[in-house]
Each structure stands twice: as structure tokens, then as C-alpha cells.
Chains A and B, each alone.
Chain A
Amino acid sequence: GQQVMQIPQYQHVQEGEDFTTYCNSSTTLSNIQWYKQRPGGHPVFLIQLVKSGEVKKQKRLTFQFGEAKKNSSLHITATQTTDVGTYFCAKRGQNFVFGPGTRLSVLP
């Protein structure tokens, strides 16, 4: 089964609103990666976090790794229609294990 969980499963927002997705693990993670998949597309790597409490930003996207390294979040400020897609977190070990993803829709 899933070793990495994500919530929410779906999120509908009005353009300009903020959005956050959460990734949780029952075990301590050595790292967490985030990927974005546009509708009809393939997953594309966004970022990797490895340090406890780490925060990284990419324009309107803010990624955070929890202090206990058991959770992570992706926050999008002022969503745009180009943010539409499914956001996956993944842990990298011997292989890569993905969470179920959060599907974001943005209403113009």
C-alpha cells in the first residue's frame, strides 16, 4: 500500500486563491521530492527537500519539509490557471515511492 499519503485528494480554487497540499509519512524520510503532472501529461520534477525544516521557494511555490522529516507541504500563492494539474510527493530510497497526488483545478 501507499507509504506516503497526501491530502487533499482534490482541490478546487478560484484563480487568485492560495492552495496547499500536504504529504505525510508514518516513518522518517531521508528526503522528499515533488512532481507536477499537467492534465494528459507526464510527471515533471519540481524540487527535492532533504534537511529538517527546509523551506524552498520557486516563484509562487513554497515547499517545506517538516522538522521531524515526516511531512512536507507545497503551497501555491495566488493560483493561476497554469497551476492546474496533479501534484505528487515522492520519497527516494532504493526506488521512488509516490503519494496518491492532489489534483488541483483552478477556476478562472
Chain B
Amino acid sequence: NAGVTQTPKFQVLKTGQSMTLQCAQDMNHNSMYWYRQDPGMGLRLIYYSASEGTTDKGEVPNGYNVSRLNKREFSLRLESAAPSQTSVYFCASSGLSGANVLTFGAGSRLTVL
């Protein structure tokens, strides 16, 4: 039971390049999330998907796009990377009510030069 798997773990991009962060969960969770973490800023929500087929903007969506490919997978795309997008990105998932808590992936450290 791997939980939430993110790839890649590390990536260096040049300004203007594009890339996709992949995330998959094997817990049959309905909801998935992408957060970014910057020093002193905590975890800020980029996009989330409450269920398969739906996506919604979070606090900081500009410069990103997402795809909920199926119930397991939720990808985050940077179309034209900027230095301000240098951050650690975390994917997370949660189930329905009751034990509705977040399970996080290990994180992806992205540097944009």
C-alpha cells in the first residue's frame, strides 16, 4: 500500500519551460489536492479535485493547470515556468467524511532558474 506517490522528486527547469508533476493514490480516495510550500508561508492550496471529473481553484492557481485523469491520478502542469514557482509541491488525497484527513505524498522539489 504505497499511499500517495509523486513524481519526480526533484526537477530543475529553465524559465519558460513546461513540465507536469504526476500524482497517484491507491487508497480509493475521492478528493485530491496540490499544495505548494514556501518558507514561512505554510501550505497553500493550488488546485483541488473533490471527485473524479471535477477540479477547482485554490488559493494560488495562477500559472498552473491540473487534470484529474481518473480517480487515482491528479497531475499538475506548469505551462511556462517562472522563478516564482520554485517551491516544494505536495500532492495529497482524502476520503469522504469520518476519517476525512489528508494523506500527503513525499513532495516534489522544483527549482526554476
Task: Please give the residue numbers on chain A whose beta carbons come within 8 Å of chain B beta carbons, in ascending order.
Answer: 2, 9, 33, 35, 41-45, 48, 88, 90, 92, 94-101
Selected contact of A98 from candidates B40, B42, B48, CB within 8 Å:
B42
Selected contact of A43 from candidates B45, B59, B90, B100, CB within 8 Å:
B90
Contacts of B100 in A (CB 8 A): 92
A96 touches B33 (CB 8 A): yes
Contacts of B33 in A (CB 8 A): 95-96
Selected contact of A42 from candidates B31, B41, B45, B90, CB within 8 Å:
B90
Contacts of B92 in A (CB 8 A): 96
Contacts of A2 in B (CB 8 A): 42
Task: Please give the residue numbers on chain B whose beta carbons come within 8 Å of chain A beta carbons, in ascending order.
Answer: 31, 33, 35, 40-45, 48, 50, 56, 58-59, 90, 92, 94, 100-107
- A-B contacts at CB below 8 angstroms, number: 51
Selected contact of A96 from candidates B45, B56, B105, CB within 8 Å:
B45
B45 touches A95 (CB 8 A): yes
Contacts of A100 in B (CB 8 A): 40-42
CB pairs A–B below 8 angstroms (29 shown): A9-B40, A33-B102, A35-B102, A41-B106, A42-B106, A42-B107, A43-B43, A43-B90, A43-B104, A45-B102, A45-B103, A88-B42, A90-B43, A94-B50, A95-B31, A95-B45, A95-B50, A95-B56, A95-B58, A96-B45, A96-B92, A96-B94, A96-B102, A98-B35, A98-B42, A98-B44, A100-B42, A101-B42, A101-B43
